[in-house]
Amino acid sequence: MSSDSLTRRSLLQGSAVIATAAPTLSAASATAPSPNSGAKAMMPVELTVNGREVHLQLDPRTSLLDALREHLHLTGTKKGCDHGQCGACTVIVEGRRINSCLTLAVMHDGETVTTIEGLGTPEALHPMQKAFIVHDGYQCGYCTPGQICSAVSVLEEIAAGIPSHVTQDLDDVALSDAELRERMSGNICRCAAYPNIIAAMRDVYGQSGAKGEKA
C-alpha cells in the first residue's frame, strides 16, 4: 500500500511540475524574437487631397480608405463592406473613381485624390450634391458620399465618350437610364433610392448643357 501511495504521490508531483512549467515555456516561446517577425517599416506617402498637399508616414499595408479616414480624418468617405462590393468608399483618384478600400495608399504616392469633402461645402454645394437633395437621392445617407463621387465621374465618362457594357453605339456614347444604371451598379443603396439617384444625375447632365441625350 505504501509503495502504491508513493507512486501516486510521485505521479501527481511530476504532473504539477509539468503544468507549472508549460505556461512558462509557452510565454518564453511567444516572446522570443523571430527573424521574420520584424515590424513593417513605415513609408512616406505624399498625396494631394481635395487640393491640399499632405505628407504621411504609413504602414505599407494601409488602404487608401484608412489613410483618408484614420490619418486625415476625412470621414465622409464611408467604410461599408471593406471588400469592394458596396461602393460606399468611392473616391476620385486622378480623375477616375475607385473603391478606396481595395487599394493601398502607397500605390497612389504623388497622385490627386478627391473625396466628398472636396466636391463641395455646405455653403457651396457641388451641382450633384444639390441635385441629390432636390430629388431625394438618399435616405439613411450612408452610401451617399460614394454615390455622389461615382455619379460625378459617370457623367464625365459619358462626356468623354467612354463606353460601358450596355453602350450600343461606340461612336456616340449618349446618356440613357440604361447607361446610368449600368455605370452606377457598383454603388449599392440598401434604402433603394435608385430612381431618385438617376433623376439627380439626369438633372445635372441637363444643367451641364450636354448634347445628344437619349431617353
Structure confidence by residue, pLDDT tens digits, 95-108: 999 999 999 999 99
Under 8 Å CB-to-CB from 75, ≥6 apart: which residues? 69
Mean pLDDT of the chain: 86
- Residue 168, CA distances (Å) to 77, 172, 182, 199 in order: 33, 8, 13, 22
pLDDT at 13 over 90: no
Confidence class for position 14, pLDDT limits 50, 70, 90: low
Name the CATH topology of 41-119: Ubiquitin-like (UB roll) (3.10.20)
- In sequence order, what DSSP letters do the residues of 100-121 get, joined into one string? GGGSBGGGGTT-EEE-HHHH--
Is the domain 121-208 a CATH 3.40.50.300 member? no
Would you state the cell numbers that stand for residue 203, as one nine-digit string?
438633372
